[in-house]
Amino acid sequence: MDAKFLYRIMCRIRFFEELVLEKFPTGVFVGTTHTYLGQEANAVGVIANLQAEDIIFSNHRGHGHFLAYGGEPRALFAELMGKKSGVCGGRGGSQHLHWKNFYSNGVQGGIVPIATGMALAEKQKQSGAIAVAFLGDGTLGEGVIYETFNMASKWQIPILYVVENNRIAQTTPIELSLAGSIAARFHAFGIACEELDTSDVVEICDVAARWVNRVRQNQAPGALILHTWRFGPHSKGDDTRPAEEIAFLKETRDPLKIQAARLAPGEREAIEAEEQALIEQAFQLALEDEYPAPEDALTPGPSTEGRGETDSLSLRERVRVRDENFESPVALTSDSSPTGRGEDAEGRKKPLTVLQSLNLAIHQALAKDKRVFLLGQDILDPYGGAFKVTQGCSTHFPQRVFPTPISEAGLVGIAAGMALRGLLPLAEIMFGDFLTLIADQVINHIAKFRWMYNDAVNVPLVIRTPVGGGRGYGPTHSQSLEKLYLGVPGIHVVAVTHFGEPQALLLQAILQDSEPVIFIEHKSLYPLSIWDDQDRELEREVGWTELGYPIYTLRLRGSPPANLTLIAYSYMAEVARQAMIQLAYQAEIFCELIVPTQLRPCAEGMLRESVQRTGRALVIEEGTLSFGWGAEILARIAEHSFSPSARLGRIGAAEHPVPASPPLERVTLPGVEDIFRKAQNLLKP
Ligand SMILES: Cc1ncc(C[n+]2csc(CCOP(=O)(O)OP(=O)(O)O)c2C)c(N)n1
């Protein structure tokens, strides 16, 4: 590698970071910063070996990585200033950068599965690209990275983990935070690694060249542990180390000094002068750049292109084609198969169950689009998933079904990385109760990426999960926790219903929706038959949200105009249907039952219209009542179409865990009786 080039890029990083620290007190930069002073040789030595198509995932201390990657100093200064010309238009700031194949995020550890998923995607695409993830020694305290190392090793994913061990995390020295050794962590997972204790960029560059080649050639993970020294404060003025210690480090371990000694004085001075001028000019230009206009915070929204190359059938059309033009590779003829489809007494095919319909959707998605991959626990045949929704998939698409360890955050992060690199992963979380374990991945990564990276990426990922009680599974396997995600911008939350076409709904999420989707499946819906237009009791109307998800309105055939709107999704819509029939026959209360499938973003237009017709609304949800979906729906109805005479009510689960014992569970979750009583109250004069 050219000695002058290595020196030049290290100077660029050094001068950039020095100017950042010098100017921070003047107020030109926003938020915070973490400079790379002293560690320049790591980024330059490693990244100099990468090819254009390779991926870098960096962290909070990412300026050096970005500049070594070839990022423009002006765009980086501008990003730190919150300017429109910044790397991400000022949306991200110092820790949240994306340009070409460079990504960074400021949450310790969470980037590791995502970078690993990106590398897996490149391996699947056979692009030859590898990924490099940079992490600090303090980040080794985060659990998700071990979930990821495990999968990276099992699945032989071509990623190089570069640990920059500067022996301190913010203010905590490594002696207080790290047990055992760093290398032993990698060895435990069968990941080969090498340690280097040097500030010599040439040495790092040579060793990194070997590791980059090795990872690329073996298509397997590797790790490089770089023992290094941080010269500056963690952030701006928060260095707790003695000044003499830092002075000594600067004297003995300065990568610029080591490399400068290899250059002729004239060469060195020329490079320094050029880089100083470059940085100063970049700073001045960024200073003059415009701030974004307030409306730049409003994103143009998800790409209307859907998920790219796949066919352009909208869900509306899919509803019509249903499964007629597609035969699942799974035998649909025998009742003995969980996905089997029996015949009634007259030899007609029975309607599909929700389970069969979802299973068909997944087979169809896998068959239609080679970018679709499944990840989840116990999804391999013959078991086919805890609830059998993925049955048959591993038999027919063995290369695209990844059975995972019990590592929810890791598997969802890996799936997110795959989605960022153009695949369409479908991840299964075995029980919705474990949505808690993926919160950081969803909230701080998946939901943020598109907006934070200035709409330059999409994360077309679907996370399916069975939720809900009624089966005696007890407190940690019966919850409806989707409300935890209903307030998170950047994701869609969709709930299946047997009043619609589960197959079409899931296909819409997998193949058409360009945003990340959490797809909610109530366990009690799986055995139910899906809607049949010949239904003797109910008639159904279908409306559509702007995103193309259906909203169903159900009425009793031939009933008088409704005087109550019931609003429910998922299995509660079935409970509401039963209540609706009782209310009509026993209390002469006639209802419209509105069943949304798109929970987030909230599309309340049709709900409001119905309440305007009926004057009363009762919202039923299976999650706990407080701060729930019902509260949001009623607030929106009240805010936008307030009528003093409107009567509004809601029903949800009791405010304690879902019990295992059937009588206790019955009084905890909303039932037909609760709806009946509450409806009667709302109808009282
Ligand atoms: C999950 C999480 N916890 C805490 C923080 C706050 N934080 C930012 S940097 C940092 C120290 C990281 O140390 P290390 O991984 O060693 O990297 P270094 O700062 O030394 O480069 C901490 C605690 C964070 N960003 N993310």
CATH code (residue 586)? 3.40.50.920
Which amino acid belongs to residue 189?
A: F
Q: How far is the CA of 238 from the centre of ligand 1 (A)?
A: 13
Residues 454, 583: one domain? no
pLDDT digits (tens, 9 = 90+) for 543-593: 999 999 999 999 999 999 999 999 999 999 999 999 999 999 999 999 999
Residues 31, 172: one domain? yes
CA distance 539 to 164: 64
Backbone φ and ψ for 527, nearest 5 degrees, come out as: -80, -5
Q: What is residue 450's predicted lDDT score, i.e. its pLDDT?
A: 97
CB 563 within 8 A of CB 583: no
Residues 676, 649: one domain? yes
Residues 19, 125: one domain? yes
DSSP H or E run through 519: strand 517-522
Instruction: Report DSSP letters for 80-108, one per residue.
Output: HHT-TTSTTTTSS-TT--EETTEEE-SST
Nearest CA to ligand 1 atom 16: 138
CA distance 424 to 192: 30
Q: Is residue 314 part of a domain?
A: no
Q: What is residue 342's predicted lDDT score, i.e. its pLDDT?
A: 59
Residues 218, 333: one domain? no
Q: How far is the CA of 110 from the centre of ligand 1 (A)?
A: 11
Q: Is residue 250 part of a domain?
A: yes
Question: Of all atoms in ligand 1, which is nearest to the CA of residue 61?
Answer: 21
Residues 368, 513: one domain? yes
* Ligand 1 site, residue 62, Cβ cutoff 6 A: no
Residue carrying the six token digits 């209802």: 591
Residues 133, 173: one domain? yes
| Token code pair at residue 516 | 């990340």
Q: What are the Cα distances from residue 520, in Å, to 203, 210, 254?
A: 52, 46, 54
Burial of 308 (0-12, 13-18, 19+ CB in 10 A): middle
Nearest residue to 123 via CA among 55, 186, 58: 55
Nearest CA to ligand 1 atom 23: 170
Q: What is residue 299's predicted lDDT score, i.e. its pLDDT?
A: 72
Q: Is residue 214 part of a domain?
A: yes
Q: What is residue 343's predicted lDDT score, i.e. its pLDDT?
A: 63
Residues 157, 258: one domain? yes
* Ligand 1 site, residue 138, Cβ cutoff 6 A: yes
Q: Which residues of 617-634 are buried (b: 16+ CB within 10 A; e: fewer)?
A: bbbbbbbbbeebbbbbbb
Which amino acid belongs to residue 173?
A: P
Nearest residue to 653 via CA among 664, 643, 639, 645: 664
Full residue range of the structural domain in which residue 387 is found:
319-525
CATH of the domain at 326: 3.40.50.970
* Ligand 1 site, residue 61, Cβ cutoff 6 A: yes
Residues 423, 445: one domain? yes
* Ligand 1 site, residue 65, Cβ cutoff 6 A: no
Q: Is residue 307 part of a domain?
A: no
Non-local (6+) Cβ contacts of 219 within 8 A are 123, 156, 158
3-state helix, strand, coil in the chain (%, to 5): 40, 15, 40
| Token code pair at residue 19 | 């100017």
Q: What is residue 642's predicted lDDT score, i.e. its pLDDT?
A: 66
* Ligand 1 site, residue 177, Cβ cutoff 6 A: no
Instruction: Report DSSP letters for 584-639, one per residue.
Output: HHHH---EEEEEESEEETT--HHHHHHHHHHSEEEEEEEEESTTSHHHHHHHHHHH
Residues 660, 562: one domain? yes
Q: What is residue 323's predicted lDDT score, i.e. its pLDDT?
A: 39
CA distance 314 to 293: 35
* Ligand 1 site, residue 81, Cβ cutoff 6 A: no
CA distance 629 to 221: 43
Q: Is residue 297 part of a domain?
A: no
Q: Is residue 586 part of a domain?
A: yes
Residues 9, 45: one domain? yes
* Ligand 1 site, residue 235, Cβ cutoff 6 A: no
Q: What are the Cα distances from residue 527, in Å, to 288, 342, 524, 570?
A: 63, 13, 7, 13
Q: How far is the CA of 224 from the centre of ligand 1 (A)?
A: 19
Cα separation of the two ends of the chain? 85
Q: Which of 525, 556, 585 is the last residue of a domain?
A: 525
Nearest CA to ligand 1 atom 10: 170
* C-alpha dihedral (414, 418, 450, 142), degrees to nearest 10: 20
Q: Which of 503, 525, 547 is the last residue of a domain?
A: 525
Nearest CA to ligand 1 atom 19: 169
Q: Is residue 298 part of a domain?
A: no
Residues 564, 469: one domain? no
SS (H, E, C) 226-259: EECCCCCCCCCCCCCCCHHHHHHHHHHCCHHHHH
ipTM of the complex: 0.99
Q: Is residue 599 part of a domain?
A: yes
Q: What are the Cα distances from residue 393, in Å, to 77, 382, 420?
A: 49, 10, 23
Q: Which of 525, 559, 594 is the last residue of a domain?
A: 525
Nearest CA to ligand 1 atom 17: 136
Below-70 pLDDT ranges, the chain: 300-348, 642
Task: Please count the structural domains in the chain.
Answer: 3
CA distance 672 to 675: 5
Nearest CA to ligand 1 atom 12: 169
Q: What is residue 318's predicted lDDT score, i.e. its pLDDT?
A: 41
CB 618 within 8 A of CB 592: no
Question: Of all atoms in ligand 1, which is nearest to the CA of residue 166?
Answer: 20
